[in-house]
Chains A and B, each alone.
Chain A
Amino acid sequence: AQSVTQLDSQVPVFEEAPVELRCNYSSSVSVYLFWYVQYPNQGLQLLLKYLSGSTLVKGINGFEAEFNKSQTSFHLRKPSVHISDTAEYFCAVSFYSSASKIIFGSGTRLSIRP
């Protein structure tokens, strides 16, 4: 079965510390991978995506993610977080065989402490 797992529901970090939000997927076919950010009471905004090519993907707001096919992971990282990064982050996967649908993880709430 195809699925997406975000291992941490909440991640608290101090301001200017590094952060990693974990995402694993399960699929028997090739995938496209996405990270979205959601601020309170707003829609989702695309942070970055992996379609093909280089496995290290850079996105907006200083975030990056690395696609690891052998570990079926797509973890999101930022070397130094800011208070404004406080939000919920969603990992998402679509599949070559059914690119019209995207499956979302359950989300990770990132809270930044001053």
Chain B
Amino acid sequence: DGGITQSPKYLFRKEGQNVTLSCEQNLNHDAMYWYRQDPGQGLRLIYYSQIVNDFQKGDIAEGYSVSREKKESFPLTVTSAQKNPTAFYLCASRDLAHNEQFFGPGTRLTVL
């Protein structure tokens, strides 16, 4: 079964702690993306990567970091510098041939 997996589905962390969200895809897509979703604001792009070992900042990259060491994996670290990290985080990958993004099920991060 091809798709995108994100883990965990729910994550709780104390303020001041870094936390890493996992995203794995077996669709053989080159491009991968991280979005943040807050109520009433749609999706905002955090980081994206078009190829292994390369990534670009999106619109709200401050307080976040990523790596892309393998084509299948694009983990997102929410650092203690992110002032308001509680949100729903969505990972996506892109099919260049058909120009559409496929989404994972999301991770809901709550910082206590």
Interface residues in chain A, defined as those with a beta carbon under 8 Å from any beta carbon in chain B: 9, 32, 34, 36, 41-46, 49, 51, 90, 94, 99-102, 104-107
Contact = CB atoms under 8 A, between A and B. Distances in A.
Interface of A is mostly: strand
A42 B103 CA distance: 9
B48 interface: yes
Nearest to A46: B100
Contacts of A51: 99
Given A100-B94, A107-B40, A107-B42, A45 B103 contact: yes
A41 B106 CA distance: 7
A22 to B, nearest CB: 15
Interface centre among A36, A43, A99, A105 (most CB of B within 10 A): A43
A44 B90 CA distance: 9
A34 B95 CA distance: 14
A44 B103 contact: yes
A73 B7 CA distance: 36
B101 interface: yes
Q: Enumerate the 7 nearest inter-chain pairs by beta-carbon distance, A residue then B residue, closest first.
A: A43-B103, A106-B42, A104-B43, A44-B103, A104-B42, A43-B105, A107-B42
A106 B39 CA distance: 9
Contacts of A90: 42-43
A13 to B, nearest CB: 20
A105 B37 CA distance: 12
B75 interface: no
Interface in B9-36: 31, 35
Contact of A41 (B48, B50, B94, B108): B108
Contacts of B94: 100
Contacts of B35: 104
13 contacts: A32-B99, A36-B103, A41-B108, A42-B106, A43-B4, A49-B99, A100-B31, A100-B48, A101-B58, A104-B35, A106-B40, A106-B42, A107-B40
